[in-house]
Amino acid sequence: MIDWHCHILPGIDDGPETLAESLEMARLLAAAGFRQVHCTPHCILGRFDNRPSQVQKATSTLQKELNRAGIPLLLSPGMEYFLDEYFPVLLEKPQCLGDSRLLLVEVPREASSELVRDNVQRIIQRGLIPLMAHPERTDLLAQGDFCPIRWPFNGVFKRFFPSNTTSSFPGAAPSDLFLQDELKGTGGLFQGNLLSFSGRYGKQVQKRAEANLTQGLYSCFATDGHGVESLEAFLLPALQILTNHEGGLDILDSGSSLAGAIEDNGDMQTPMSS
């Protein structure tokens, strides 16, 4: 299995702070059956100012530590980009997932539909493929009976950190019932969080994830792991749920339609360290 989105690199964002924590996360992933992990720290101007060369170096360093510890995981560099007003600057030198054309992106909680559409169009114009992280956790992409989730945090804090509650938050962006279909129609792909299926983010997110899976929205799954505790509590139950769900096992095993994007990076130039 492939983990398409994981905050496993130490000391680089809100993931593990130490190498020891990263190694323990890696052991848990390997024991669960993962063989490849895309290392995707946040890239948010003003908060997590990570750069491709920095992430590539950190990935290479952690890979050496995994090899030394005998942990059978292959690591690839990537980043999780915030689709905010500063994203176009970061798109000038993007870090895709490994050597692919896939660019992992997250919809900010307060983003407008217009901003998301514009940024996704910029990605496509670059010849890249937007991979939308955890749509089940995104109010703006909610559809039908599953919109919206409201968030309790005020101020800058809510921009960067998720909550697993459904408390009222008056500043949350309203859902756009058509945006998800529009993004899919323009070539956008969607990555589901495994831990959403086992209740890590609350019942409403879990219901959204199940509905998205039934509707065939997801092209791949990821742990979106940030630490040992949540992986220990929620990962194996999530894998069991998906194994018993029609279509879930196929996506876990193959990454579904992502195979072509991974194998064909066309003329796209991904910045790599010398």
Tell me the percentage of the chain whose pLDDT exceeds 70. 80
* In the predicted structure, residue 271 carries a pLDDT above the cut 50: no
pTM listed for this prediction: 0.84
The arithmetic mean of pLDDT across residues 66-79, rounded, is: 98
* pLDDT grade for 145, boundaries at 50, 70 and 90: low
- CA-angle at 252, arms to 247 and 256, nearest 5°: 70
Q: Give the Cα separation of 244 and 161 in Å (integer).
A: 31
Averaged pLDDT for residues 76-86: 97
Q: d(Cα 93, Cα 135) in Å, to the nearest integer?
A: 25
At 204-224, the pLDDT tens digits run: 999 999 999 999 999 999 999
DSSP letters of 172-230? SPPP-TTHHHHHHHTT-EEEEEGGGTTTTT-HHHHHHHHHHHHTT--SEEE-----HHH
Residue 163 has pLDDT above 50, yes or no: no
| Average predicted confidence (pLDDT) for the chain | 85
Q: Is the pLDDT of residue 157 over 60?
A: no
DSSP-assigned letters across all residues of the chain: -EEEEE--STTSSSS-SSHHHHHHHHHHHHHHT--EEEE--EEBTTTB---HHHHHHHHHHHHHHHHHHT---EEEE--EEE-STTHHHHTTS---STTSSEEEEE--TT--HHHHHHHHHHHHHTT-EEEEE-GGG-GGG--GGG--------STHHHH---S-----TTSPPP-TTHHHHHHHTT-EEEEEGGGTTTTT-HHHHHHHHHHHHTT--SEEE-----HHHHHHHHHHHHHHHHTSTTHHHHHHH-TTHHHHHH--TT-------
- Predicted confidence at residue 263, as pLDDT, reads 55
Distance between CA 94 and CA 244 in Å, rounded?
37
Q: What is the pLDDT of residue 170?
A: 39
**Which two structure tokens, joined as six digits, stand for 15?**
């993931």
- Model confidence band, residue 253 (pLDDT cutoffs 50, 70, 90): confident
User: Residue 260 has what pLDDT?
Assistant: 56
Alpha-carbon span 113 to 102, nearest angstrom = 21
The matching CATH number, chosen from 3.40.630.30, 3.20.20.140, 3.30.70.260, 2.60.120.10, for 2-263 is 3.20.20.140
